[in-house]
Each structure stands twice: as structure tokens, then as C-alpha cells.
Amino acid sequence: MKTSLDPRHKKRQAIIQELFKIEFHKQHISEATNKIMLQKQIIDKNIQSAAPEYPVEKINKIDLAILRLSVYELLVDKKEPPHVIIDEAIELAKEFGSDTSPAFINGVLGHVLSYAKAT
């Protein structure tokens, strides 16, 4: 398990915070966050397919930020193995989300991954 001082974890924390903030305020965002936002429609479509009972606009904003980063890493970036991305998303959910966030995010990402493997 990565520590909270791991540079990759710190980078993901910063991206999650930016993704969360832009839901409320227009602001300058990093290149990494911009890459995610350029793929937002595709990412959100995958999130919606994986969790049809939860419309994207109704998902807790911090959970949505974590999901957007993780789905981007799973389907677009593909630099890390899927289990690393999902483990990191769960850790971020424990750090930033509610008590139910880790299980919700784990479930959604599991569905996204299974859909990606099926196609």
C-alpha cells in the first residue's frame, strides 16, 4: 500500500481537489486535470453505465471527482495496472469521501473495468 507521502498519491490528491473545485468555481486548472475534463463526456457516460441508478449529476461531488480521475486512468491513460488505480481510488475515497464512498467507488470502478474488458 502506498503511503500518504507517495508522490503519485500527492498528485492524485491535487487532481481530485481541482476536479472537485471546478464543479463550483471556474478556475485555472493543471494540465492533468484539463486532460480529464476534455474527456468528461466519455468518462461520465462510463460512470453512468456502471451506476445507472445514480445519475452523474446526483453523485456526491467528491466521489464524482475520484471516479472521473479513476475512469480516466483506467480507460484513457492506462499507465498503471487496474488494481493499482482502483486501490488508490479507494484510499482517496477513505481520505476525502463519506463512510459509504469507498464501497460505492469500488463497485462503480469494478463495473467500468468489466465493461472495458468486455468491449
Does the pLDDT at position 119 exceed 80?
no
Q: What is the pLDDT of residues 2-34, one digit of tens each?
A: 666 788 899 999 999 999 898 888 778 899 999
Indicate the class that CATH gives domain 7-118: mainly alpha
The domain spans of the chain are 7-118
Instruction: Annotate 86-100 with DSSP letters as a single string.
Output: HHHHHHHHHHHS-TT
Q: What is the pLDDT of residues 30-73, one digit of tens each?
A: 999 999 999 999 999 999 999 999 999 999 999 999 999 999 99
Confidence (pLDDT) at 28: 85
